[in-house]
């Protein structure tokens, strides 16, 4: 790690510790322990099982977006191992490095270009954003939350609208790159005066366009959209089932709202596993919106965080052992492509 990376790591850990301290500021230790000790085990096990099931289901959506150069599907295991290793890396390394691990590992295991794998993950993230905004908007109208409720001084309706505009603009830009390749290349050549750099950017654009080929097919776009909504509905269900384990009086719409706020929260720089950010986002919703005690909110957040992160971390380590890939090797594979 260079000096720049060290300082970024220190900053990320500092953010996590500050947010964790904020979440714990009013927690009474005895009350916290009481909530943890009295959790109902079977609903909690069910929540963990649902959350873990989401990871293998992600393969089916990714197969709609990423294929071999000859158009054939990659095998299920070829796509599963990068997903498992990527989420495992997010849990144990800072800066969401798991996204890089997933992109480079599927390129090596599936013999596909880095540009194609990168753009497929980028399109996934766009559809994730749109699905989260859609479900969060539904939640705002069905969870019985007053319009004046704010989180961190921001109206929930305004936050959802802004996120929807950003995600929608990103999707439109991605479709435009696929639908109008010549115009996109001319725009790059116009904006970038250096022929050398414009040629490099055009080459990158061509690689990215290969990975966004799925956007040419309305059927595949619809399939990706439906899978995205389904995956996040299932993820919201895991939060709701965990509510039942703690006897938290919040409905399924509230679970979708919590999920949306959490997705925004974990996008900020943080320590490995989103420590602190994860807990602070959940306490914001449970205490700030639903007026539950901080003790209950922190007990729920820490229990859910730890129990749902353990399975995918172990599965990711198993995939590392099975594939023989190492982070050092993935980094070396990426360097020639970026120089």
Render each residue's pLDDT in the chain as its tens digit; 339 residues.
556 667 777 777 888 888 889 888 888 999 999 999 999 999 999 999 999 999 999 999 999 888 887 778 899 999 999 999 999 998 988 777 888 899 999 999 998 888 788 888 888 888 888 888 888 877 877 766 655 566 556 666 666 666 667 666 766 666 666 566 677 677 767 777 777 777 776 666 666 666 566 667 778 888 888 999 999 999 999 999 999 999 999 999 999 989 988 988 887 777 888 888 999 999 989 988 888 999 999 999 999 999 999 999 999 999 999 988 865 555 555 444 433
DSSP bridge partners of 67: 73
Rounded to an integer, what distance in angstroms lies between the CA atom of residue 243 and that of residue 250? 7
Rounded to an integer, what distance in angstroms lies between the CA atom of residue 176 and that of residue 48? 39
Which residues, 6+ apart, have CB-to-CB distance to 31 below 8 Å? 293, 295, 296
Q: How many domains would you assign to the chain?
A: 1
Strands 154-155 vs 150-151: parallel, antiparallel or unpaired = antiparallel
Q: Give the helix/strand (H/E) hosting 151.
A: strand 150-151
Q: Which domain holds residue 302?
A: 3-338
The total of other beta-carbon atoms located within 10 Å of residue 95's CB is 17
């Amino acid at each position: 790690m260079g000096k720049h990376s060290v300082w970024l790591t220190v900053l990320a850990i500092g953010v996590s510790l500050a947010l964790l301290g904020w979440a714990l500021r009013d927690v009474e230790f005895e009350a916290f322990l009481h909530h943890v000790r009295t959790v109902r085990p079977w609903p909690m096990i069910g929540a963990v099982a649902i959350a873990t099931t989401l990871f293998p289901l992600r393969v089916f959506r990714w197969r709609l977006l990423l294929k071999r150069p000859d158009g054939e599907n990659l095998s299920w295991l070829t796509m599963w191992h990068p997903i498992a290793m990527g989420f495992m890396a997010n849990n144990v390394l800072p800066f969401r490095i798991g996204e890089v691990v997933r992109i480079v590992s599927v390129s090596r295991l599936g013999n596909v270009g880095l540009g194609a794998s990168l753009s497929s993950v980028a399109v996934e993230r766009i559809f994730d954003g749109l699905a989260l905004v859609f479900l969060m908007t539904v939640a705002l109208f069905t969870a019985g939350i007053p319009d004046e409720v704010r989180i961190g001084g921001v109206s929930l309706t305004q936050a959802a609208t802004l996120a929807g505009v950003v995600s929608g603009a990103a999707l439109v830009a991605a479709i435009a790159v696929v639908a109008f390749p010549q115009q996109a290349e001319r725009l790059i050549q116009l904006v970038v005066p250096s022929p050398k750099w414009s040629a490099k950017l055009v080459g990158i654009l061509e690689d990215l366009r290969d990975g966004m080929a799925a956007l040419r097919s309305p059927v595949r776009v619809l399939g990706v959209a439906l899978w995205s909504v389904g995956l996040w509905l299932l993820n919201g269900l895991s939060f709701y089932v965990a509510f039942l384990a703690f006897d938290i009086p919040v409905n399924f719409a509230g679970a979708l709202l919590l999920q949306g706020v959490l997705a925004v929260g974990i996008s900020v720089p943080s320590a490995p596993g989103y420590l602190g950010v994860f807990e602070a986002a959940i306490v914001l919703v449970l205490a700030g919106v639903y007026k539950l005690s901080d003790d209950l909110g922190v007990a729920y957040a820490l229990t859910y965080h730890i129990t749902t992160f353990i399975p995918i971390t172990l599965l990711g380590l198993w995939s590392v052992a099975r594939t023989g890939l190492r982070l050092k090797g993935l980094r070396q594979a990426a360097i020639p492509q970026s120089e």
